[in-house]
């Protein structure tokens, strides 16, 4: 079997969730790599939108920040920040948003703000950025994260962005235009929301186990009755990632 | 009327202790030279507002210029934590006021438009609205549904770096335009720093590219390489290596002090700073040419 790193596994599985024609609100790092991989495989018409105000970016080199100049040169359009959030996101023109955070809870709510008390923070994190709005208004959201118990508490310390709140019905009552988190891709497998909006284990990566997933989750992780194994990363996917997208292994190194 | 002056003179005249300062630029065109000049002049008790404080505010906070920060994403972009601002907040030494990107920019939009508030659709996340009383909910009088509103942000002074402008302050900007226009229109006073000062005819040759008109501008400062280690589209690249280096420097207060001594207090202005960076950095940040197709405005 081909060897691969954990970031490669995450990126490839995230790329497979994207559909041809998707308009994706994308960040740097693994989401950027996942979008570029999807564009070079099954989703050539995917459109990448960056919160810096860049639409239809075709980065010629690996962007190292959300406002990298390579995103602008050759893009379809560039607009101001108010417009990207209002006309594109709030108006409902974004299919997919990628989210990350220090904590993700049982109902897919995310904390990117603070560990401990807000006024007297134990650990001060960067904060929302665009994630509060992306989580609410993108049609579908995906989360890429290492699978660790401290990242998956029963309840987040601070709700920076909304998943299903305390139940899918609660999100529906809030009348947010987006459908909420659709999948959490981890290095052990994939979690997806059930009818109640609770994240349950729906897939395992090759060689990983249910016990491992449960031991690294902070709530009593339920297992889908139709649990499947993901396809291992293909030679083609790995080759594109390694030779074209991140040849210097800036994001794909692994061994964390 | 020409508003040309040195950056040092502009900061002296238009930035006062206690001011709410908005140094604009989302990753792009961040006016680092102005931040350094504010540090050199020992300005105090500033309220520093930016969607992304970036290294410019990390350095100004480290130098003791600020009593408060207003932000929506406090990180070292592409690298990780913004160590000084973070440590000062965790230690209880620095006040802060926090938004999401859209609500931060909506505040500027309200300020720039002369509106009493700006409405946004609810996000249901809740906690940021709970801890920041500037978020309010009102009922949309048309639908009866709740909307979230934020008040205008009106900086005392906005500092905006641009590719080129004329001596009066009509400014051309291209590339990522972030919140440059909104910050300028929202502010009481506006300082423009520019890579190039050009004749008014150059501005008039491409009026769609003018984001800021002269009559809202107070000072025009010619400051080539103002944005380093950030960048100016088409002029020089972002110094990603320095963003990584700052992550190391900012782990130690002594190293931060040494950095400020050498690179801020140790140089009189941006010309000397750029010289001091040296040939290797100049070469590394050089960018090639990628011209847009010309447009015909027509002869009428």
Chain A positions touching B128 (Cβ under 8 A) are 113, 128, 132, 160
In this prediction the pTM is: 0.96
Tell me A245's DSSP state: I
In this structure, what token pair is assigned to residue B218? 């107070």
Identify how many contiguous H helices and E strands chain B contains and give both numbers: 12, 14
Q: Give the number of A-B residue pairs with CB atoms closer than 8 Å.
A: 165
d(CA B286, CA A167): 53
Is the distance from CB of B8 to CB of B28 less than 8 angstroms? no
Residues facing residue A111 across a β-bridge = A103
Positions in chain A whose pLDDT score sits under 70:
1, 255-256
- Which of A8, A51, A133, A198 is catalytic? The answer is A51
CB-based contact A92:A147 (threshold 8 Å):
no
Q: How many CB atoms lie within 10 A of CB B293?
A: 4
Give all domains of chain B, ordered by start, each with its CATH number: 7-102+153-285 (3.40.1080.10), 117-150 (no CATH)
**Which chain B residues are closer than 8 Å to A59 by Cβ?**
none
In this predicted model, what pLDDT tens digit does every residue of B7-55 receive, in sequence order? 999 999 999 999 999 999 999 999 999 999 999 999 999 999 999 999 9
Q: CA of B76 to nearest chain A CA: how many angstroms apart?
A: 9
Using CA atoms, how far residue B285 sits from A23, B232, B235, in Å, is: 32, 10, 9
Q: How many Å is the maximal CA-CA distance in chain B? A: 63
Q: Are A12 and A230 in contact (CB under 8 A)?
A: no
Per-residue pLDDT of B165-221, as tens digits, reads 999 999 999 999 999 999 999 999 999 999 999 999 999 999 999 999 999 999 999
| Residue B68: exposure state from Cβ atoms within 10 A (0-12, 13-18, ≥19) | middle
Answer yes or no: do B122 and A74 touch at CB < 8 A.
no
What's the Cα-to-Cα distance from B107 to each of A82, B71, B110, rounded to whole Å? 10, 11, 5
Mind telling me how many Å the CA of B180 is from chain A's nearest CA? 8
Which residue, chain included where needed, has tokens 């794909």?
A252
pLDDT at B226 over 90: yes
DSSP assignment string, A74-116: T-SEE--HHHIIIIIIITT--SEEEE--SEE-TTS-EE-SEEE
A51 as an active site residue: the answer is: yes
CA distance A24 to A31: 10
Q: Minimal Cα distance from B75: which residue of A?
A: A126
Chain B neighbors of A68, CB-CB under 8 A: 27, 78, 238
Q: How far apart are CA B153 and CA A88, in angstroms?
A: 23
Closest approach of chain B CAs to the CA of A242, in angstroms?
Answer: 20
With an 8 Å Cβ cutoff, are A132 and B243 in contact? no
For residue range B123-167, list pLDDT tens digits in order. Answer: 999 999 999 999 999 999 999 999 999 999 999 999 999 999 999
Say whether A256 sits in a helix, a strand or coil: coil
Question: From the list A52, A71, A158, which residue is nearest B178 (CB)?
Answer: A52
Q: What's the token pair of residue B210?
A: 């003018």
Q: Which of A58, A63, A67, A175 to mutate to test the interface with B (most CBs of B within 10 A)?
A: A67
Question: How far from chain centre, in Å, is Cα A30?
Answer: 8
CA-based nearest distance A220→chain B, Å: 24
Rounded CA separation B38/B23 (Å):
11
Domains of chain A (ranges, CATH numbers)? 6-245 (3.40.1080.10)
Rounded Cα–Cα distance for residues A29 and A81 (Å): 21
CA distance A117 to B89: 13
**Distance separating alpha carbons of residues B233 and B227, to the nearest angstrom:** 10
The alpha helices in chain B, defined as continuous H runs, are 7-14, 32-40, 54-62, 83-90, 101-113, 127-131, 180-186, 200-204, 240-249, 253-260, 270-277, 279-285
Query: Mind giving me the DSSP string for B168-190?
Result: T--EE--S--TTHHHHHHHSSEE
Under a CB-based contact definition with an 8 Å cutoff, are residues A24 and A142 in contact? no
Contact at CB, B179 and A135, closer than 8 angstroms: no
Contact criterion met (CB < 8 Å) for A78 and B86: no
Q: What does DSSP assign to residue A53?
A: T
CA distance B132 to A190: 35
Dump pLDDT digits (tens) for A92-140.
999 999 998 899 999 999 999 999 999 998 899 999 999 999 999 999 9
C-alpha to C-alpha distance for A54 and A223, rounded to whole angstroms: 40
Please indicate whether, in this complex, the C-beta atoms of B100 and A133 are within 8 angstroms of each other.
yes
Choose from B93, B176, B212, B233 for mutation: most chain A CBs within 10 A. Answer: B176
**Cβ-defined contact of B233 to A69 (cutoff 8 Å):** yes
Q: Is B296 helix (H, G, I), strand (E, B) or coil?
A: coil
What pLDDT does residue A59 have?
A: 87
Do A65 and B78 lie within an 8 Å CB cutoff?
A: yes
Residue A256: predicted pLDDT: 45
B181–A113 C-beta distance less than 8 A: no
Contacts of B88 (CB under 8 A, 6+ apart): B61, B94
Min Cα separation B60/chain A (Å): 18
d(CA B179, CA B107): 11
d(Cα A93, Cα A72) in Å, to the nearest integer? 20
Q: Nearest by CB to A69, from B81, B175, B178: name it.
A: B175
B63-67, B90-94, B169-173, B208-212: segment of lowest average pLDDT: B90-94
Helical residues (DSSP H) of B115-158, grouped into ranges: 127-131
Is it true that the peptide bond before B229 is cis, omega within 30 degrees of 0? yes
Residues in chain B: 300
Residues B49 and B24: their CA atoms lie apart, in Å, by 9
């Amino acid at each position: 079997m081909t060897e691969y790193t954990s970031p490669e596994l995450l990126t490839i599985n995230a790329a497979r969730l994207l559909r041809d024609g998707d308009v994706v609100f994308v960040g740097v790092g693994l989401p950027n790599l996942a979008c570029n991989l999807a564009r070079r495989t099954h989703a050539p018409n995917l459109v990448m939108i960056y919160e810096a105000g860049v639409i239809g970016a075709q980065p010629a080199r690996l962007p190292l920040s959300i406002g990298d100049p390579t995103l602008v040169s050759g893009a379809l359009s560039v607009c101001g920040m108010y417009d990207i959030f209002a006309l594109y996101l709030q108006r409902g023109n974004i299919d997919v948003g990628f989210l990350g955070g220090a904590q993700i809870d049982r109902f897919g709510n995310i904390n990117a703000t603070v560990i401990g008390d807000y006024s007297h923070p134990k650990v001060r994190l960067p904060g929302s950025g665009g994630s509060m709005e992306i989580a609410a208004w993108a049609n579908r959201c995906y989360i890429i994260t290492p699978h660790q118990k401290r990242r998956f508490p029963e309840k987040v310390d601070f709700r920076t962005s909304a998943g299903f709140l305390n139940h899918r019905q609660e999100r529906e009552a809030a009348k947010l235009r987006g459908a909420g988190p659709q999948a959490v891709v981890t290095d052990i497998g994939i979690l997806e929301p059930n009818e109640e909006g609770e994240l349950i284990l729906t897939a395992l990566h090759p060689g990983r186990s249910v016990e491992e997933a449960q031991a690294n989750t902070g709530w009593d992780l339920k297992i889908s009755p139709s649990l499947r194994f993901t396809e291992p990363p293909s030679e083609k996917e790995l080759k594109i990632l390694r030779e074209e997208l991140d040849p210097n292994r800036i994001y794909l190194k692994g061994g964390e | 009327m020409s508003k040309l002056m040195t950056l040092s003179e502009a900061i002296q005249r238009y930035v006062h202790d206690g001011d709410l300062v908005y140094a604009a630029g989302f990753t792009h065109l961040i006016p680092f030279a102005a931040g350094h000049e504010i540090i050199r002049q020992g300005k105090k008790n500033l309220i520093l507002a930016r969607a992304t404080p970036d290294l410019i505010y990390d350095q100004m906070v480290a130098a003791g210029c600020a009593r408060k920060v207003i932000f929506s994403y406090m990180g070292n972009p592409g690298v990780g934590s913004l160590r000084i601002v973070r440590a000062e907040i965790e230690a209880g030494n620095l006040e802060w006021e926090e938004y999401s990107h859209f609500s931060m920019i909506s505040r500027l939009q309200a300020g720039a438009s002369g509106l009493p508030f700006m409405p946004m659709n609810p996000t249901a996340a809740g906690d940021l609205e709970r801890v920041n009383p500037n978020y309010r909910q009102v009922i949309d009088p048309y639908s009866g549904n709740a909307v979230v509103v934020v008040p205008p942000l009106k900086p005392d002074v906005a500092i905006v770096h641009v590719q080129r402008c004329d001596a009066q302050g009509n400014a051309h900007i291209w590339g990522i335009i972030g919140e440059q226009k909104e910050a300028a229109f929202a502010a009481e006073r506006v300082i423009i720093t520019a890579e190039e000062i050009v004749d008014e005819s150059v501005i008039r040759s491409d009026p769609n590219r003018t984001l800021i008109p002269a009559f809202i501008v107070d000072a025009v400062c010619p400051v080539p390489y103002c944005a380093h280690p950030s960048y100016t589209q088409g002029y020089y690249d972002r110094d990603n290596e320095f963003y990584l280096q700052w992550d190391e420097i900012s782990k130690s207060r002594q190293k931060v002090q040494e950095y400020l001594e050498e690179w801020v207090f140790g140089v009189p202005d941006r010309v000397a700073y750029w010289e001091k960076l040296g040939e290797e950095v100049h070469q590394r940040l050089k960018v090639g040419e990628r011209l847009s197709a010309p447009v015909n405005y027509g002869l009428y």
